[in-house]
Structure 1
Amino acid sequence: MRSKFAAAGLVLLAVLGFGTASAGTDSSGGPRSRLDLVLQRGEVKVCSTGDYRPFTYLDPATGQWSGIDLELAADLAQRLGVRATIVPTTWKTLMDDLGRKCDLGMGGISVTLDRAKAGFFSEPYLRDGKTPITRCENAGRFQTLAQIDQPGVRAIVNPGGTNEQFADANLKQATIVRHPDNNTIFQEVIAGRADLMITDATETRWQAKQHPELCAVHPDQPFTFSEKAYLLPRGDVVLQEWVDQWLHLALNDGTFTRITTPWLG
């Protein structure tokens, strides 16, 4: 169904002259895909926040990038026959940077309707959802949203993403603590300066593995349903279809499993 509606939309845009993803024209005078520009310059630019392990991490000491989606970005570039350049972004500026500073966004990006207004998504590659992580001695206290949303409970969030949106929508009595650095946010919970964080179940599992003091609370039964996918400029069906085909192959030829197993088990 998506391809039928997308094709109809592109016909209408072409008639009206509104090719939103057009970056020039091809030899026939039609809109040129960003895929053609990537191949021409021999480089694919990937926006990533670098603060959301295990998907993306930028080490401030060494400047080195790591994570599931950074390794998958390298595979994408290799199969495309170009080099990958990672462009730092933030959750607040990701949508503005997409198409301006980079060709696509990768790094544990959740599919949302708001983001879909401004960009295209690839096919999803991971199912996820919001769930708490807290010090292990408090895991029994924070099983439900009703238990969490109580006066005196401090729920910490990183600004600009879906974690903040979820907290703002669901926590009316608890105190929401906004912490600007997602790389150090879990230390705030360990140190007792916050009681818990509600984030994606995949992240809670990863952080609990790194910090024995922390426990993921029912990560197999999160509060919400969400999916991870890659973010692409709106209107560029050619690039979207190529990324979808690459992802389909990676999910089925062993590439995705080989890359994710060391991170997720």
Structure 2
Amino acid sequence: MKNSKPNIWARLLKKAQKTDPSLNRRMAMLKRLFCALMMFGTALIVAGCTTTKTDLAAATNPLRIGVASDYPPIIFKQGGVIAGMEADLAVNLAKNLNRPYQFVETSWDKLIPDLLNGRIDIIMSGMSITEERQVRIDFCNPYLKTGQMALIRRTDAARFQTPAQIMMNRSDVGVQKGTTGAQLVRQQFANAKEVAFLSAHDAALALSRNRIDMLIHDAPVIWWLASENEATLTVANHTLTEEYLAWAIRRDDSKLKDSINQALEKMKSDGALNRIFKRWMPGAP
């Protein structure tokens, strides 16, 4: 049943309005302020929901990691499973990013095209930072300082005792196609004949069979191959260049880059990076 008595609050408000004529203006201002605050709060809630959905999508989508799995000890197949230094780093990185991961195998010369066309999200395959590559792709912070070294036969150790003897000798020099080692030989080995191979393993096999005089490759690869063939092959202990290995991403993927750099710093600070290096490069000086 409807109450016939006037609402007490309405009577009090009416009386106050008669006593203070400016009350109506103040009430109107308060209403506008209240409405503005409500709209701002709603916008924040919507923005928060949108960010959450974006972050959830990123967390559930696997990080597609491009690898050329013929590059021991950096990345290779072991018993049919992808293994190596980059594989361990990938597991640790995905854990820090709180994302699942997926290895996408390809050949070395297709890594950058696959990144640019969106088939993969990141290259983790022992790639060096170079100006030529930076024109097309971006790099995260470097995780390893390295350089090019020479793998030689033990019987030839006296021939290659200095960097000059390595770089100026008339030699058949093996390289892996598309690597910074191949670039170095073309630019700096004035008297050498470059012999390109699809993999470092194939080049080491050719070296042991006297088909080439040396192999130029990244230091971790050279140390690994020397340990695998220590009866016949050895390292010429001179680093010929100074290079930095880093993970490559698309140039417009700045959010992923920032997240990866933060994860890398954590891997450095908690010792994970050094533990992985020691596992896969025990022969490194």
C-alpha root-mean-square deviation of aligned residues, in Å? 2.2
The count of corresponding residues between Structure 1 and Structure 2 is 229
Residues 116-265 of structure 1 aligned to structure 2 (within 5 Å): 116-144=134-162, 146-148=164-166, 149-151=168-170, 153-212=171-230, 213-218=232-237, 221-265=238-282
Q: Is the Cα contact below 8 Å between 2:149 and 2:218 reproduced in 1?
A: yes
Q: Which of 76, 86, 95 pairs up with 2:103?
A: 86
Shifted more, 91-100 versus 248-257: the winner is 91-100
SS at match of 1:110: coil
* Partner-residue secondary structure (3-state), 2:257: helix
Secondary structure of 1:223's aligned partner: coil
Question: How far apart, CA to CA, are the structure 2 residues paired with 1:86 and 1:196?
Answer: 32
- 2:62 maps to 1:51: no
Aligned twin of 1:67: 84
Helix, strand or coil at the partner of 2:64: strand
Comparing 139-148 and 166-175, the one that deviates more: 139-148
Distance 1:138 1:233, change over 3 A: same
Report sequence identity in percent: 28
Describe the superposition over 1:59-117 as per-residue Cα deviations: whole angstroms up to 9, x where unpaired.
Answer: 5xx53100011111011112222221111122222211114211100021111111111
Give 4+ residue runs of structure 1 displaced > 6 Å after superposition: none
TM-score, structure 1 length as denominator?
Answer: 0.79
Give the whole-Å Cα distance in 1 for the aligned partners of 2:130 and 2:157: 28
Distance 1:36 1:193 in 2: 54
Matching residue of 1:20: none
Contact 2:138 2:250 in 1 (8 A): yes
TM-score (norm 2): 0.74
Structure 1 portions without partners, runs of 5+: 1-26
State the 1:139 CA deviation.
Answer: 2.1
Is contact 1:92–1:161 with CA below 8 Å preserved after alignment? no
Q: Which has the larger helix fraction? A: 2
In the alignment, the residues of structure 2 paired with residue 118 and residue 224 of structure 1 have an alpha-carbon distance, to the nearest angstrom, of: 23
Aligned amino acid, residue 237 of structure 1: S
**Aligned-residue offset at 1:247:** 0.5
Asked whether the equivalents of residues 71 and 199 of structure 2 are also in contact (C-alpha less than 8 Å), the reply is: no
**Radius of gyration: which is bigger?**
2
Q: Hey, what's the Cα distance between the residues in 2 that align with 1:104 and 1:180?
A: 22
Structure 1 residues 37 and 208, CA gap change in structure 2 (3 angstroms): farther
C-alpha distance in structure 2 between counterparts of 1:183 and 1:133, whole Å: 12
Q: Is the 8 A contact 1:53 1:67 kept in 2?
A: yes
